[in-house]
C-alpha cells in the first residue's frame, strides 16, 4: 500500500522524499511515524519501474531528488483505485486458529481463552473510544477508528456466540 500512497501524493505535485514522508504522516493524523528507509526503497523501485522519475537538484546527480509521477505511474495508480477490494477482512484469524489448535491438542479450557480474548478486545475498545473522542478533527482517521470500533463490537459478539456454542457442545 505504501507504493500507492506515494503515487497518490505525487499525483498532486512533485515532491522530494522528506515531503512525502511528512505528507503521508499528516494524512494519517500524525499518529504514525513512517520509516524513511522504507520510503526510499519504495521510491527507487517505482523509479526503476518507470512509474516515477527523480530529478536531482545538482547537475552532477547529487543533492535532493524531486520525484514526479509519469503517465504510466498515473495509469497504475488509477487502475489500483478502480479495483474493489475482493479479499474479506481476515476473520479473527489468529484467535480462531488458536481455538482450532486448542481443539486439536485436546484442551478443554476454551472458555478461559475466550475470557482472556474478551478482556483484550474490551481494552482495545476502550482505547479506541478515547481515540475516537480525540480524533474528531481529522475526518479520515476518525472514519478508520469508527470502523475499527464496529469490527471490535462484532468480534465481542462473536466471542459470546463461541462461548455459548462450545458450552452447549461440552454438555
Cβ of residue 95: shortest distance to other proteins, in angstroms?
A: 15
Asked if 56 touches other proteins (CB under 8 A), the answer is no
Q: Which residue from 100, 101, 133, 143 is in contact with other proteins, where contact means CB under 8 A?
A: 133
Asked if 49 touches other proteins (CB under 8 A), the answer is no
Q: Which residue from 50, 61, 63, 160 is in contact with other proteins, where contact means CB under 8 A?
A: 160
Is the Cβ–Cβ distance between 138 and 162 less than 8 Å? no
Asked if 166 touches other proteins (CB under 8 A), the answer is no
Beta-carbon contacts of residue 16 (< 8 Å; ≥ 6 apart): 64, 65, 66, 67
Q: Which residue from 28, 54, 66, 102 is in contact with other proteins, where contact means CB under 8 A?
A: 28
Measuring CA to CA, which residue among 93, 105, 111, 101 is closest to residue 151? 93
Is the Cβ–Cβ distance between 52 and 69 less than 8 Å? yes
**Whole-number Å distance between alpha carbons of 77 and 82:** 9
Helix (H) or strand (E) holding 51: none
Asked if 144 touches other proteins (CB under 8 A), the answer is yes
Cβ of residue 96: shortest distance to other proteins, in angstroms?
A: 17
Asked if 41 touches other proteins (CB under 8 A), the answer is no
Asked if 113 touches other proteins (CB under 8 A), the answer is no
Is the Cβ–Cβ distance between 67 and 30 less than 8 Å? no
Cβ of residue 131: shortest distance to other proteins, in angstroms?
A: 4
Asked if 32 touches other proteins (CB under 8 A), the answer is yes
- Cβ burial of 105 (10 Å; 0-12, 13-18, 19+) is exposed
Binding site for other proteins (CB under 8 A): 1-2, 5, 28-29, 31-32, 34, 115, 118-119, 121-135, 141, 144-145, 148-149, 152-153, 156-157, 160, 163-164
Amino acid at each position: 500500500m505504501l507504493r500507492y500512497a506515494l503515487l497518490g501524493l505525487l499525483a498532486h505535485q512533485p515532491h522530494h522524499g522528506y515531503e512525502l514522508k511528512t505528507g503521508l504522516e499528516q494524512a494519517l493524523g500524525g499518529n504514525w511515524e513512517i520509516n524513511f528507509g522504507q520510503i526510499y526503497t519504495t521510491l527507487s523501485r517505482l523509479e526503476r519501474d518507470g512509474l516515477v522519475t527523480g530529478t536531482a537538484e545538482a547537475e552532477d546527480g547529487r543533492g535532493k531528488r524531486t520525484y514526479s509521477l509519469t503517465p504510466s505511474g498515473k495509469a497504475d495508480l488509477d487502475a489500483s483505485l478502480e479495483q474493489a477490494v475482493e479479499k474479506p477482512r481476515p476473520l479473527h484469524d489468529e484467535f480462531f486458529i488458536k481455538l482450532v489448535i486448542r481443539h486439536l491438542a485436546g484442551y478443554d479450557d476454551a472458555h478461559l481463552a475466550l475470557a482472556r480474548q474478551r478482556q483484550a478486545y474490551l481494552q482495545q475498545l476502550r482505547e479506541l473510544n478515547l481515540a475516537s473522542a480525540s480524533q474528531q478533527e481529522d475526518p479520515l482517521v476518525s472514519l478508520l477508528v469508527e470502523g475499527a470500533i464496529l469490527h471490535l463490537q462484532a468480534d465481542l459478539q462473536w466471542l459470546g456466540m463461541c462461548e455459548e456454542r462450545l458450552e452447549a457442545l461440552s454438555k
